[in-house]
Amino acid sequence: MKQVVVTGTGLYTPEQSISNDELVASYNAYVDNFNAGNAAAIESGEVEALTHSASGFIEKASGIKNRYVMNKTGILDSNVMTPQIEERPNEAPSLQAEMAIKATHQALEEAGITASDIDAVIVSCSNLQRAYPAISIEVQSLLGIEGFAFDMNVACSSATFGIQMARDMVRSGSAKRVLMVNPEICSGHLNFRDRDSHFIFGDVCTAVILEDAEIAKNKSGFEIIDTKLFSQFSNNIRNNFGFLNRAAEHARDDKDKLFIQNGRKVFREVSPLVATMITEHLAENGLEAQDLRRMWLHQANRNMNDFIVKKVLGYEPEFDQQPTVLDEYANTSSAGSIIAFHKYKQDFKAGETGVICSFGAGYSAGSVIVRRAG
Ligand code: CO8
């Protein structure tokens, strides 16, 4: 079986950002307007008054202080509260393809190859801006790549599932060099009028290049030791937006056409499941927790990650063992663990081992054990 290496990663960060205080000010202005506009109905008990959001709660409950977004003004306008992104003509590159290209250039540079060396493209993320043609085929075309491309979606686990697909393709010989890219515009499917979740997500794009080790030019990449995927149906994180919405017009704009979750249940159910998955995955590969230099975990919640790593290691982790990017980027769905890997991998020495792990809607979870080559 061929050995597969991650030879390059890339990160595109949007220029605009929103702090917790800015987001909360906009949400609270919406609440004040709503309550004033519904004063009589609230007084008579017909309508429930809305409650303010609070920056202090957000940081304590999640670890999030800031998020990057593709359009700040629409989100912060308390009469709009959604990103305002113009439709583009079919001849122009789509926004997700544009984000993908930016992240890809950085990944190619690290891998020391050009786009024409790639022979397969996977765009893997939690929402695609159109049904077809596939964004990945557009990326393939914009980069001048020969071969094939496809899109896939496993919500927050899209990147680790994408890595397993890419690895399997290289191992089987159906591709030699794969670009796996995650353009996440989470702000487009987040309900900024929902106090429980308005603070959770941000926008970003990550890219990963996986190659047959024999032909890789970057000899100090990260060998993939093994991958393990898990899924189990749950309604606790759900978004009912889809092509049949226009066939049920009365429900087309209901809240469930954006992200909804039972966050507390997700926290309780998913955290132990992920800790067990990582421990079992290590054991299957003859490894123990102390063999790990670092875990690059999905970035949904700081407390959740602390719980998982403590359960795997048996003690409180240092930042170096479990770096977080949540404070700056918030939850960027599938891109989160890859941002952490991208930003905190350069200090790895040859032979050191780590785990990239994602988890989220589905439920879905993916674990990727990597070891620095070279
Ligand atoms: N401001 C102030 N107070 C608040 C706020 C707020 N904004 N929101 C809630 N509160 C209050 C509540 O009313 C409650 O008050 P009380 O105790 O008086 O009833 C109190 O705070 C506690 O509320 P919760 O129990 O809801 O708070 P938690 O401590 O559970 O924290 C979290 C909420 C942060 C959401 C937490 O539960 C969490 O992070 N859970 C994990 C969720 C998770 O990992 N989800 C994965 C989702 S990502 C994914 O799968 C990808 C989906 C695709 C991407 C979608 C892009 C849009």
**Average pLDDT value over all residues in the chain:** 97
Q: Whose CA is nearest to atom 29 of ligand 1?
A: 61
Atom of ligand 1 nearest to the CA of 187: 57
Instruction: Please give the pLDDT value at position 38.
Output: 97
pLDDT at 289: 95
Say yes or no: CB of residue 263 within 6 Å of ligand 1: yes
Whole-number pLDDT of residue 59? 97
Q: Considering 156, 186, 205, 357, which one is annotated as catalytic?
A: 156
Grade residue 330 by pLDDT with cuts at 50, 70 and 90: very high
Read off the pLDDT of residues 49-91 as tens digits, 9 standing for 90 and up.
999 999 999 999 999 999 999 999 999 999 999 999 999 999 9
Q: What is the pLDDT of residue 343?
A: 98
Residue nearest to atom 20 of ligand 1 (CA): 57
Distance CA 331, CA 327 (A): 9
Domains (range + CATH), the chain: 224-372 (3.40.47.10)
Catalytic residue at 156?
yes
Q: Which of the four pLDDT bands, split at 50, 70 and 90, describes residue 234? A: very high
237-258: average pLDDT: 95
Confidence of residue 317 (pLDDT cuts 50, 70, 90): confident
Provide mean pLDDT across the span 147-166: 98
Number of other residues whose CB lies within 10 A of the CB of residue 306: 17
Q: Does the beta carbon of 331 sit less than 6 angstroms from any atom of ligand 1? A: yes
Q: In the predicted model, is pLDDT for residue 318 greater than 90?
A: no
Question: 355 C-alpha to center of ligand 1: Å?
Answer: 26
Model confidence at 288: pLDDT above 90: yes
**pTM for the predicted model, two decimal places:** 0.96
For residue 186, how far is its CA from the centre of ligand 1 (angstroms)? 16
Q: Over range 315-335, report the average pLDDT.
A: 94
pLDDT band at residue 1 using 50, 70 and 90 as cut-offs: confident
